[in-house]
Structure 1
Amino acid sequence: MTEKLRTIIVEDEELARNLMKNFLSDIESIEIIAECENGFEGVKMINELKPDLVFLDIQMPKITGFEMLELLEHKPQIIFATAYDQYALKAFEYNAADYLLKPYSKDRLVEAVAKVEERMQTEGRESDVAEKVSDFPREGYLDRVVVKDRHKIHIAPVDAIRYIESMDDYVMIYTTEGRWMKQKTMKYFETSLNPNDFVRIHRSYIVKVNEISEIQQYEKESYVVILHDKTKLKVSKTGYKNLKDILNF
């Protein structure tokens, strides 16, 4: 491969970044175009500079490597690098090009780059890791949602979510702090939010149970829920059954 791989390192530890840069400096096919010490910087630089390859730490302050991937518009090849081996299986299920377990050797890093080059020759430069992260079932329930609004990244605690509305390939998340759009499915949130706290009332709505003030009938077998701020949301037949089950009426 004659064309160099434009590469970004996203790693919060300076020592780990310097070691990786040192190892990569001897690999002719690599051109390091940026280094980032957290996921916020990573999202900005990856979307702006559109690298071919990203070395990505998973456990970082602010947002994790997995959460960072959800916010990318550009889809580079990903090599995860982390000290925690419990993420290895998940990394491969997400279709990462490779996974480096710290501390790793220079030979192991060279091998990972060779894997990326081989993959690019057969599959092209874009990767589907970000989509895999979005579609993959979670372990446990969500405790926060990371969203991007123009150039800002917001971390919304699940406790702050009031309801979620379907918008084709996106959802609108209404919180106590504002509303944000995210490229996720309603099915994802239905399975990722604690069913004791959130209920699917309609194909278009998931509502936090504690936000419901009352349920009103407006036609035969047609209902709406009214939230504490007077917002009215339609309830489907299945949604009404879900409400009866969780509210015991």
Structure 2
Amino acid sequence: MTGRALRVLVVDDEALARQVAVEYLGRCADIEVAGECANGYEAVRAVSEAMPDVLLLDVQMPKLSGFDVLELVGPGPAVIFATAHDEFALRAFEVHAVDYLLKPFSEARLHAALDRARERLAARAAQPAEALRAALRGVRIERVLVRDGGKVFVVPAEALEYAQAQDDYVLIHAQGRNLLKEQPISSLELQLDPSRFVRVHRSWILNLAYLDRVELEAKDRRVAVLRDGTRLPISRSGHQRLQEALGER
């Protein structure tokens, strides 16, 4: 980061908060404002277009929270969270945020956070993708966020019929649509409610609500037949997990 201005994208649904942050940033000779965003959707698009070094990111915003934005943009900018509430502080540092500012914050406090961001970027010590995956373990989600170009799809968990591993991606099938999300299937499995979703095969996760029946195709080879006729392979260990899950229902 030495030798050029630090590019900061300001994301906040409150116009006054954005104005104050931009004024503070404008008085820093080594800072460039990469843009302003009034919501999470704008932020996801702006990160792709403006390629900022740092996100000054509000936590509580309509539709997409700051954490949702971070999940969608992936391992790119360093993140400084800003909020009027302190209950999100622990989660912010679990996803390796550079800093956590409580509003209203002073210009000096913002400068200190930016100094930390510059150090973090220079050292490349954050490893945000792995940190985010680690933070998500054990957190049961009620929706899956999928970014497709400039669009963001919000898939309710109950609408997710099945998921298929595709290298470092996972194919989400829901409501007649296939969506590709950059996330290992093992990470998605940890986020889904195990009483509703079962890893029936190393490459497949099944929503029990869409299961019609289990068929034996050959000796020790079974398939899950969904209500729409889709057939998913079941491994030996997957069949055991499926039996355990069905037995608990």
2:116 alignment partner in structure 1: 115
Q: Structure 2-normalised TM-score? A: 0.92
Q: Structure 1-normalised TM-score? A: 0.92
Q: What one-letter code is carried by the residue in structure 1 that aligns with 2:241?
A: N
Q: How does 1:1-249 map to 2 (within 5 A)?
A: 1-72=2-73, 75-123=76-124, 128-138=127-137, 140-248=139-247
Q: What one-letter code is carried by the residue in structure 2 that aligns with 1:30?
A: I
Q: Distance in 2 between matches of 1:9 and 1:113?
A: 13
8 Å CA contact 2:138–2:190 kept in 1: the answer is no
Percentage of matched positions with identical amino acids: 38
* Superposed structure 1 runs of 4+ greater than 6 Å apart: none
Q: Distance in 1 between matches of 2:170 and 2:189?
A: 12
Which blocks of at least 5 consecutive residues in structure 2 are unaligned?
Answer: none
Cα deviations by residue, 1:143-172 (Å, 9 ceiling, x for unpaired)? 001101222111111011000111111100
CA RMSD of aligned residues (A): 1.9
Q: What one-letter code is carried by the residue in structure 2 that aligns with 1:232?
A: R
Give secondary structure in 2 for the equivalent of 1:75.
Answer: coil
Q: Distance in 1 between matches of 2:195 and 2:21?
A: 45
Number of residue pairs matched?
A: 247
Cα deviations by residue, 1:158-198 (Å, 9 ceiling, x for unpaired)? 01100011111110010014111111122222221111211
Q: What one-letter code is carried by the residue in structure 1 that aligns with 2:84?
A: A
Which blocks of at least 5 consecutive residues in structure 1 are unaligned?
Answer: none
Farther-moved stretch of structure 1 (131-140 vs 180-189): 131-140
Q: Distance in 2 between matches of 1:86 and 1:138?
A: 19
Cα drift, residue 33 of structure 1:
2.1
8 Å CA contact 1:70–1:134 kept in 2: the answer is no
Q: What one-letter code is carried by the residue in structure 2 that aligns with 1:241?
A: Q
**Closer/same/farther in 2, CA of residues 151 and 122 from structure 1, 3 Å limit:** closer
Farther-moved stretch of structure 1 (99-108 vs 131-140): 131-140
Q: Distance in 2 between matches of 1:94 and 1:84?
A: 17
Give secondary structure in 2 for the equivalent of 1:8.
Answer: strand
Q: Distance in 2 between matches of 1:91 and 1:141?
A: 17
Give secondary structure in 1 for the equivalent of 2:73.
Answer: coil
8 Å CA contact 1:91–1:99 kept in 2: the answer is yes
8 Å CA contact 2:78–2:120 kept in 1: the answer is no
